[in-house]
Structure 1
Amino acid sequence: NPTFYTKFKQRLGELAETVFTEAVFGPKIQNLANTLEPEVRLRARLRGTDEQRAVAELQETMNAMLEHLKERRSYVLAALAEDK
């Protein structure tokens, strides 16, 4: 359906420019890390593993989420630009 596809591309472009950005999601991802850190530390202690390593792994995961957001956004914007 060409009408739907045109509207879909337009809305996807708007979201990629305004919502799915580092500025919007960066703080959300950091807040998630801050919320999870005490639990990660507790579980590391209970398992007898290194707390600092567990927290570092959490931060690596959060960094990977942010990197995925950046790469996916870049891909979507490039695909939309190509399709014009």
Structure 2
Amino acid sequence: MNYYDLCCRYKGQVVTISCHDGKKYCGTITHVTDTHVYLQPSGSHFGGFGYGWGAGWGWGLPIALGAIGGLALGTALWWI
């Protein structure tokens, strides 16, 4: 699957990204490069990271496109 195109299509949308290592990240896609997708954390569902959101984050938290194993729109996978 071409996650770059998928992430570009859903820029500005809330998504859940599942990585190959089993971690899941929820947030709004703020930027996409040819190597990373950037998420603005979405509430308490941005599991695995104890980081706050604020000044200095730029486009958000980067996730390598090569690490993505799945992507779902909205809250579709928040319960997993």
More helix by share: 1
Give the TM bin, normalised by the shorter chain. Answer: under 0.3
Higher CA-based Rg: 1
| Bigger proportion of residues as strand | 2
